Amino acid sequence: MVAPPVEELIAEAVLRRLDSPALIDALSGQTAADDQQQALAQQLQADQDQLQDLAGMFGNREISAAEWKAAREPVEARLRTTQRQLAGSSHNSALAGLAGTGSQLRGQWADLNLDRQHAIVAAVLDHAVIRPASPGVRGFDIDRVQPVWRL
């Protein structure tokens, strides 16, 4: 298959997907994920602040090395857990404000720079499967291209 027609087909499919109820529903679920991510970021900051407080207390000889070590270990364990959770909950923000705007964006698509186009496509599309050509079919066959959606 020749790339330009496939790229045009994928771009059009992504723009239609932006207007789909399935994508709008998926993005509304991300609001809850955003809230969770914010709570995790606050927990991470609180634990980092606590480690700094502990270091200050040890530096001022308010606590012993054994006390510092005993207090530090659970805080560092929470930090590692929170960092893993944050990494797992992050999502692509390329679609912020774009749900339901595929029709409008269609007229502006050519004016977007390639990085922006790529970010939008990558946020919506996981990959596309190109099926083998049917015997006797020549030219571009739209049915050979199957998008696999991320959202």
Task: Please tell me the predicted confidence (pLDDT) of residue 60.
Answer: 96
Beta bridge partners of 148: 127
Closest CA to 3 of 150, 116, 140, 111: 140
Q: pLDDT, tens digit, for every residue of 59-111?
A: 999 999 999 999 999 999 998 888 777 665 544 567 777 878 888 899 999 99
The answer to whether residues 117 and 109 touch, using CB atoms and an 8 Å cutoff, is yes
**pLDDT at residue 32 above 70?**
no
pTM of the model: 0.57
Q: pLDDT, tens digit, for every residue of 58-71?
A: 999 999 999 999 99
- Percentage of the chain with pLDDT > 70? 90
The answer to whether residues 19 and 102 touch, using CB atoms and an 8 Å cutoff, is yes
**pLDDT at residue 37 above 60?**
yes
Could you identify the residue written with the tokens 């269609």?
Answer: 106
Residue 38 dihedral angles phi and psi, to the nearest 5°: -65, -40
Could you identify the residue written with the tokens 């789909």?
Answer: 20
